[in-house]
Each structure stands twice: as C-alpha cells, then as structure tokens.
Chains A and B, each alone.
Chain A
Amino acid sequence: MLFELLMLGRGGQGVVTAGRIFAEAALKSGLFSQSFPEFGPERSGAPVRSYVRISDEPVMLRAPIENFDVAVVFERKLLDHRLVEMIRSGGLIVVGSETPVEFARSDIKWFYVDARKIVEELNRPRSINLAMLGALCSVLHLVPLNNVEEIVRRRFGEGNAEVVRRAASRVVEVEAAA
C-alpha cells in the first residue's frame, strides 16, 4: 500500500506543519510516512503545497508527487480544474468552504468543512491547518483522529485540540447531483 496526499493552502497557514503532523500521526499508528514541502522560496499568502506519503513498508520513493489519492485544499479559491484532475480515481478531496463545493468529478468523494468559522468560534485564527487536519482524519479513516489530536495537544495545547475535534464533527460530504 502506498498512499499519497496533497495539502494546499497559503504561506502562513501552516500547510507544511499540517503535512508533518499527519505524517507523525501515521507513524504513531504503526505506518511508515514521509512528508515534504514543495521546495522553493515561499511568500506569505502565496499558494503553498506540502505532500505526505504513507505506506505499510518503508517509503523509499523520493520522486515528486504528480498524482495523489487525497487533496486537502484549505480555501475554495485555491481549487482549480488541473488540481482536481490530479486526484486518483476512488480518491477524495476535502475543501475549506462555507458552502458545498461543486461536484466536478464523480469518481472521487467530495467533502467540505467551514474551517474559517470553526477557528473563529474557538478564537484560534491561525489554526486553519488544524481544522483541515481534523476534517481529513474524520473522512479518510487511515490515521486515527486521536493520534492527530494528541500531537496537536502536546504541541499547541488543548484549545487547538478542540479545533481538530470540532472540524472532525463538522465535515460534510457533498452529495452527487441527481
């Protein structure tokens, strides 16, 4: 099993940290993992990508990730056609959005979570990445939510662990149009 994931957000939203936490949580659940940012100079506010590979055997592969099983897109505005095409059939996408996202491909599952609202409710404006992680764990069933929550609690405190939990309970699947 080799599972590949993309995180897409903006510089300053903790995209790289989110990838690392997810990889760490996978490791704690007995899976091999690798996480790396898209390499290059980064600017605050500009689109930033990070990648995660998870496997039941050591991850040797170091090639760039061109197709993925899951995409986690922090903001609806960052979603584009080309990116959606890169998701493998049978995969899924989680988008940070107030309203249901359009159903552009029927061979993948679509989810959305109002991450912005959750971080506002909990007064954690910089924790969009943790909300996206919570939503991801809740719909992917590969890495237990508890593992992510525990790492977040240890590193960023109980308030942020609540961001993870709340997002996990609020993520919504988009139904296919009739």
Chain B
Amino acid sequence: MYNLKTARLMTGNDAAAYAVKQSDVDFISAYPITPQTIIVERLSEYVASGELHAEFVATESEHSALSACVGASLAGARAFTSTSSQGLALMHEILYVASGLRCPIVMAIVNRALSAPLNIHGDHSDVMGSRDAGWIQIFAENPQEVYHYLIQSFRLAEHPDVLLPVGVNLDGFTVSHSSEPVEVLEDSVVKEYLPRNERPRLDYYSPATFGAFALPTHYFEFKVEQDKTLRKAGEVLDEVAAHYPSPEGRLRKIDKFNEDGRIAVIIMGGTTGTLRYAIKSLRFRDFSLISLKLFSPFPSRELVEAVSDADAVVVMDRSMSPGAPLHPLASNVATSLYEAGVSVNLISVVYGLGGREPTIKMVLEMFEKVREIARGGGKRLSRLFLGYQGDGL
C-alpha cells in the first residue's frame, strides 16, 4: 500500500525515466515519437545535468536507435530505448536482431495505434505487430507498475540464463500522461538490486563473433534454442521478482482480483483499473479479473489454473488480428485452454482501438451482455466489440 507522505506525483512517462535513471543505464538511444517522447526527453535532461552518467545518442530514426542499442549492448553496455507505434514498426527488423543476438536491451513501449488512419492514441496494435520478435513483453497498469517493472526488467534481461531484450508496455496517454502517486526506492537500493554481471561481449583482447551467418545446417537450431530460452525466462522472472526490494512492486505473471467471481475477465494494461473499479465499487462481484502482466513468454499454466472453473471466460484485446480466427490475446488463451484440455464458454472482446478508452457506461453494458451469454451456458465462442459504433455485427 502507498505511503502518501513519501509518494510523488508522476506520470507513466516520468516514472519510466526515473526508473531508468536509477537503473544506471550506460547507453540510451532514441528518436522522439508521441506519446513516448517525454521519457527520452527526461533522460536527456538527466544526462545533461550529470545526474545520469550515460551516453545519449540521438538518431535519425527508430531503426537506427535500436541498432545503436544493439551495438552498445554487444559491447557490454546496459542499453535502453523507448518508442511507440510507427517507431516500433520501423524497428521491426532490428527487434529480431536484438533477440537473436541475445542483447539484454530494455525498451519502454508506450502503446499507440498504428496508421492508417493516422492516430496518436493508445492501443496495443504496435506491440502485437512485434509479438513474434522473441522479446519478453511485460504490461503495466499504472505509473507505479511502470516504475517497478522497468527496474526488474534490467535484472531479468541480464540474467545469465536469459540474456534477452525486454519490452515494458504502458498504454499511450491514459498511463503515459496520467499523473498519479508513485513510491520510489532509494538509488542505492536499486543499484544493489541491479549488479553488473559478466556476459559474452565484444572484447578486443578476447575476440568473438556475434551475428554470424547461419546456414540451413544451423539456423533452425538457433531459433529453437532461442524459443526454449524465452520460455524459461518465465521461471527466471519469479526468481528475479522475489528478490525485488519492494514486496508490493514484485512482478507477477498474472494478478487476480475478486477471485470468487464466476465470470473471469482477462485483460492487460491501463483499462484493468477501470474494470477493478467497476467490480469493486459498482457491485459486479460475480466477475473476477485477471490482469496479465507477462504476455511473452505466455504464462499458459497460470492462466488456465485461474480460469478453468469459470462459468465464462472473457478475453479483452486492445488490438485486432485482421482475418485471423481470434485476436492476439484471445488466441493465446484459447490455445492454452485447448492444450490443457479445458473447454469453456469463451467471449472475445475487442476494445479501445485508437484510444477509445472504455467509459463506465461501456464497461457496465459489456458486463450485462457477458452475464447474459454466461447464463446461456454452453462451451462456445462469442465475439463482442466494446464501444464500436458501426453496424453489421
């Protein structure tokens, strides 16, 4: 629980920059894009004022920003970058290089819709377009979680059994620009939590090759090994979180709320708070909420355990997979349930595209509609679009 005497009012972006400063990064490279810009703006100020001893490289594009981070990371630096939307799309090629070369880079992804039509507001289309890039993907609900999760991400990324890049996602504007109480740790406590480990790196006196060409004889094995490592990172995460000095800030793969509710709602990111409020204060106690903090590697076992007894399972996606049988999160949930041999009444809900943040009224309408579907029973798949104003559905 917060200590209001020591908490400071910070936006999600402020909290991100502060966490990165305390994490004592060596290298930052970025290109500004709304709604992420403030993170690197603050970091450039920290570097300019001498509060943070890091190399700050302003590049001409996001593609170059992440490329520079890959180089710095291979040289042994603790590297950070941050982007949104089109910026992440432009990084696409290098996202795979960063994970394939096992660079423990940390990136704050301030989620924003993709063009066209052009839109600067929040949704998860950007990160879902990169979901197979082999990064660890974490989702924060509020500025406080942004702070805690970024610090833990450096330790997770740099763990000798992981050495993979980590994306920490926060919803554009509704989290990135919302000022809320944030409790921070002492600089020395963060420093102690993030020791610098030796890892394979470019070294003039001990030459090694990174980014070698892999022919059909080897490429396949590289990729399967990478997948195994990413899956194992889920176990390492528990260990990394267990050592985090703030017990309430520890990163859990899933966070359950009102567990006795018979209808389970699975969601990621800022809108979770609105659902928490609706369940707690507006008497929707028949709903339980599962806030997914870790999207990749996907915590299938924990999720199945949490929802297998539910009368209905609602999965809320803030992005779409056009033409696909299901949207990204719902698809992962459905596959996890299938693998566990669990059959449920599944309701896929798409919400919030292009920043259409659910209002209380929208949430209540959704809850009523879901109750109706749950009462109908059966093990089927229903699809809803929350707040969609067109017709033909």
Contact = CB atoms under 8 A, between A and B. Distances in A.
Interface in A23-57: 23-24, 27-28, 30-37, 39-41
Given A58-B2, A62-B273, A63-B357, A20 B9 contact: yes
Interface residues of A, number: 26
A41 B181 contact: no
Residues of B in contact with A, size category: 20 to 34
A63 B9 contact: no
Interface string B142-159: 100000000000000000
A144 to B, nearest CB: 14
A177 interface: no
A80 interface: no
Given A30-B4, A33-B180, A37-B177, A24 B9 contact: yes
A23 B9 contact: yes
Nearest to A19: B179
B124 interface: no
A24 B11 CA distance: 12
A90 interface: no
Contact of B4 (A31, A37, A39, A62): A31
B321 interface: no
Contacts of B270: 62
B121 A39 contact: yes
Interface in B167-211: 173-175, 177-181
A73 to B, nearest CB: 21
B156 to A, nearest CB: 26
B256 interface: no
Contacts of A2: 281
A63 B363 contact: yes
Contact of A62 (B2, B120, B274, B280): B274
Given A58-B2, A62-B175, 5 more contacts: A33-B180, A39-B177, A40-B120, A41-B120, A61-B274
